[in-house]
Amino acid sequence: MARKLYTTLQIIFNDIREVVVSPAYRTIRELHIVVKDVALVPLPDYNAMEDVAEVVETILDLSRRVMGVLQENLGH
């Protein structure tokens, strides 16, 4: 079980690392943009900046994956 959890978290960590080094993520940080579900933010706000909508979706997906892993493994 520990190996499975480690492998899953390592994959998620690598995905997070890719996001953090992206130019779009740097833009998000420099502009102090709050990451919200795209359904809650008008698309033109995110689409005005190149690749920001995609990075926001990736961050939200990663958050959901981490929560899923934690719920799955803490429930046992």
Q: Give the pLDDT confidence of 30-61 residue by residue, as tens digits.
A: 877 776 665 665 656 566 666 777 888 888 89
What the block records as the tokens of 1 is 């079980």
Global confidence as pTM: 0.69
What the block records as the tokens of 29 is 């940080």
List, for residues 6-24, the tens digit of each pLDDT value: 898 899 999 999 999 998 8
| The pLDDT of residue 1 | 78
> How far is 38 from 47, CA to CA, in rounded Å?
10
Whether 29 contacts 56, CB under 8 Å: no
Whether 9 contacts 69, CB under 8 Å: yes
| The pLDDT of residue 18 | 92
